[in-house]
Amino acid sequence: MADLDDDCEAMTPSRRAVLGAAGALFAWSFVPKFAYAAAGSRDPRFLLVVLRGALDGLSAVPPIGDPDYAGLREGIALTKDGPDAALPLDGFFYLHPAMPNLARLYASGQASIVHAAATGYRERSHFDGQDVLESGQVGPGRTDSGWLNRLIASLPPGETVSRHGVLGVGVVPPLVVRGPAPILGWSPPRMARAGPDLMQRLSDLYGQRDPGLARALTQAIETEAIALRSSMNGDTRGGGGPDSTEGMKRIAEGAAGLVGADDGPRIAALAFEGWDTHANEGGAKGRLAQLLGGLDGALAAFEQGLKPVWKDTVVMVVTEFGRTAKVNGTVGTDHGTGTIAFLVGGAVKGGRMVVDWPGLKPEQLYEKRDLKPTTDIRGVAKGVVSELFGLSGPVLAERVFPGTGALAPMRGLVG
């Protein structure tokens, strides 16, 4: 592997040349002249983690202080005492015991938790819910571009952030990063890499015959070069997928390596899977506990892998919607609405619950069924990226989250 990697490095004609080529492909013919305030001296990093399948926020961050919680959750309710006690946050909310790293980060002021949150989507289709969450549109099916991509496309070209594009982790890039701005792709390598000469010849052929494939390959070569420079070239063959503890950790380590590199992308999105807990969800132990443990390990891997720039980093963890407040007939939960989001990182003004708690009595639930959303997750996202990247409200409302002018960016989330 090692000498192949060296060849790869040597082969890359010149990173600047590749970047130039990519820039030409995307032809910044139209540069919007929105108001833009420089974000100061910080060189910020933003990672979005999408949990696919609708995480049960009432289990991840149980409101044990709410008198109605235990009754709704029956056998899977978490408790503040006993051998598998939930971890204390603010005396009302607790954290699932599978997440000790997050508890530590919260205690040290590097994590905030948003509860009873959702996008504006109120139906219960995973795929439409994810479309709204990732496209940043007010409804599903409106566009094939994602809000992180349009965010980058809204920054002045030549800025550090826009110059380095957005990283989409996985063989299939998440919708949130797709769009006109350059996308870098990466996933944990699982087989021997092709020789650099083959890559170059295909690059030439695509350049003559197929702009779409040419663009994809150019971006792939660029990411590979960054990965090699940030010495992520160990053979990481094997290991689980994005729904396993090991897989989440590997993906987080890889993303951290790329985003932490000096010449790496500043913005990344990745997805973990398997959160659709219809049956046998489990409480302090069981299936959901395992997934949350995997997420907790991934957060620790981000912290570790981004060490020099962790102070400038926000990791935002979101999911398409929540689950029913009441446990269902098969000791799981069905598709619901309100849920949680995590903000983690050295740049987070943390140690806080961000919540307007709606309560859990039947009449306080959404359609007498789901945790009622009282915080719009898009307002949280707008707040984080506006404070992190210095984007103004109008840009966010017109380009990044179109049609959300009435939804103010939440202030004071980033320290």
Partner 1 sequence: MATPDDSRTSGIGLQRFGLGARPGQPRDQRDAARESMLAEVARGVVAQPLNPPFSGAAEIGGALFAFEDKERMEREARRVAGQAQAMQVAAAPPNPQAAQNPQAPVAPQAPAAPQNQMAQPAKPPNEPPLPFKTYRDEVVARVQLALEAESGFAERLVQFWSNHFCIAATKSNIGRSMAGAYEREAIRPHVFGRFEEMLVAAESHPAMLDFLDNRLSVGPGSPAGKRRGRGLNENQAREILELHTLGVHGGYSQADVTNLARIITGWTMVGREAVLGFPGSFAFNIGLHEPGTQPLLGKDYAQPGKAQGLAALTDLAHHPATADFIALKLARHFVADEPPPTLVASLSEVFRRTQGDLAAVSRALLESNAAWNAEPSKIRSPQEFLIASYRALSRKADPGQILGPLGVMGQPFWQPSGPNGYPDTNAAWASAEGIKTRIDVAAGWGRQAAGSVPDPRALTEDILGPLASPETRQTVARAESKPQALALMLMSPEFQRR
Residues contributing to the site for partner 1 (CB under 8 A): 52-53, 123-128, 140-141, 144, 168, 170-173, 175, 178, 183-187, 190-195, 197-199, 201-202, 204-206, 208-210, 212-213, 216-217, 219-221, 223-224, 242-243, 273-274, 276, 278-279, 328-330, 332, 334-335, 367
- Quickly list DSSP for 330-379: TSS--B-S-EEEEEESTTB--SEEE------SGGGSBTTTBPPP-EEHHH
Shortest separation between residue 205's beta carbon and partner 1, angstroms: 5
Alpha carbon distance, N-terminus to C-terminus of the chain: 42
The least distance separating partner 1 from the CB of residue 218, rounded to whole angstroms, comes to: 8
Strand-pairing partners, residue 46, are: 267, 314
- Please, what is the minimum distance in Å from the beta carbon of residue 103 to partner 1? 29
Q: Considering the complex, state which of residue 125 and residue 392 has its C-beta at the smaller distance from partner 1.
A: 125
List all residues 6 or more positions away from 109 whose beta carbon is below 8 Å from its beta carbon: 348, 349, 350, 351
Nearest to 77 by CA among 230, 262, 348, 282: 282
**Residues 95 and 86: beta-carbon distance below 8 Å:** yes
**Distant-in-sequence, close-in-space partners of 350: CB < 8 Å, separation ≥ 6:** 105, 106, 108, 109, 110, 111, 112, 343, 344, 415
Q: How far apart are CA 322 and CA 61, in angstroms?
A: 12
SS3 113: strand
Supply φ then ψ for residue 108, to 5 degrees.
-90, 15
Q: Quick one: 229 or 278, whose CB is closer to partner 1?
A: 278
- Closest contact distance (angstroms) between CB of 98 and partner 1 is 21
Cβ nearer to partner 1, comparing 149 with 375: 149
We find the least distance from the C-beta atom of residue 265 to partner 1, in angstroms, to be 12
As given in the structure block, the two tokens for residue 23 are 């820039």
In the complex with partner 1, the residue whose CB is nearer, 187 or 374, is 187
> Among 152, 129, 151, which residue's Cα sits nearest to residue 141?
129
Nearest-angstrom CA–CA distance, 277 and 329: 12
Report the nearest approach of partner 1 to the CB of residue 380 (Å).
25
Least CB distance to partner 1 at residue 364 (A): 18
The residue (of 190 and 307) whose beta carbon lies closer to partner 1 is: 190
- Cβ 111 to partner 1 shortest distance, Å: 27
Question: How far is it, in rounded angstroms, from Cα 26 to Cα 148?
Answer: 16
Sign of the dihedral through C-alpha 289, 294, 298, 304:
positive
